[in-house]
Amino acid sequence: MNSAWSWYIILGTVASLAACFWLVAWANRQRASEAEIKESEAHVWDEDVRERNNPLPMWWLWLFIGTIVWSLGYLVYYPGMGSYQGLGTWSQEEQYDAEVQAAEAKYGAIFAAYGQTEVEELVKDPAALAIGASLYQNYCSQCHGSAARGARGFPNLTDDAWQYGGGPAQIEHSILHGRNGIMPPLGAVIGSDVAVDNLVDFVLAMPDGIDTGLPGYADYMKHCVACHGPAGDGLQVIGAPRLNDDVWLYGSSPQEIRKTIVQGRQGYMPANRDLIGPDRARILAAYVYSLSR
């Protein structure tokens, strides 16, 4: 944190506390007189609801003041004033490291035992799958959804369509090392809008079989076959998806397919090895593997 931001936080914090103290003091000076309190009792609504302008009791007022004083002591002892670290020794980094070490000491042996078990065996273990489900919700649900059915640009994990393969080894590799899928833009290569439209029509027709008589067939065999295959079966080793099924990562409309062809796509799955480690990744892989089974 640079000094400008540090002073911005310090001044903002001090000003806020000062404003709170001023508000409490000002409100206390505005206490109603006995005559005003008596006069206010004459205000009646709904037959018997009376307005009473009674002041707050002093013990309540001192609670507010005590809170402000306590906050000042807190900010002296703990970090909270910009880059000031406080008189104490606490830091969020040290607390996080201590909690991680405590959790590792408590659960490390359990995870290590699961980490030595094959995914196919973990799928049969309800306890392992329960842990895997918890890991999934913590690390994967933000992209793939709480039910693992994916979203636009994020694949469904409950079906049998896998860009990089749905076997235990491929899933575990995806979790540990991530994936980086690239569909290159082909708009300039293909040329005319008519040729692109023809290729879009050909791709849309692929689930019904390869029609070599369609105008887009020649461009497909020239520009797309190397990755997606002559029958549109895809190539899992590089993450090229199948085109002869009804599964579409970005949508099946002609507009979306045209955008994919012309502009390309960049798919990214982050690596989680440093975040969760190989043992937890094995349990998570077993859970994900079970979803499509």
Give 41's pLDDT tier (boundaries 50, 70, 90).
low
CA distance 23 to 27: 6
Nearest to 282 by CA among 178, 169, 157: 169
pLDDT(50) > 80:
no
In this prediction, residue 270 has a pLDDT band, given cuts at 50, 70 and 90, of very high
Q: What is the CATH number of domain 182-269?
A: 1.10.760.10
User: What's the CA gap between 250 and 163, in Å, rounded?
Assistant: 13
For domain 100-178+270-291, which CATH number applies: 1.10.760.10, 3.40.630.180, 2.40.50.140, 3.40.50.1100?
Answer: 1.10.760.10
Domain ranges across the chain: 3-77, 100-178+270-291, 182-269
Statement: residue 70 has pLDDT above 90: yes
238 Cβ contact partners less than 8 Å away, ≥ 6 residues apart: 227
Is 80 exceeded by the pLDDT of residue 31?
no
* Cα distance from N-terminal residue to C-terminal residue, the chain: 49
Tell me the per-residue pLDDT of 128-165, one tens digit each, with 9 for 90 and over. Answer: 999 999 999 999 999 999 999 999 999 999 999 999 99
Q: pTM to 2 decimals?
A: 0.72
Examine domains 100-178+270-291 and 182-269 and report if their fold is the same: yes
- pLDDT tens for 197-232 read 999 999 999 999 999 999 999 999 999 999 999 999
pLDDT at 55: 64
Q: Average per-residue pLDDT in the chain?
A: 91
The confidence score (pLDDT) of residue 235 equals 96
Dihedral sign of CA atoms 21, 22, 26, 27 in order: negative
**pLDDT band of 1, cuts 50, 70, 90:** low
- Dump pLDDT digits (tens) for 85-123: 899 988 888 999 999 899 889 989 999 999 999 999 999
pLDDT band, residue 44 (cuts 50/70/90): confident
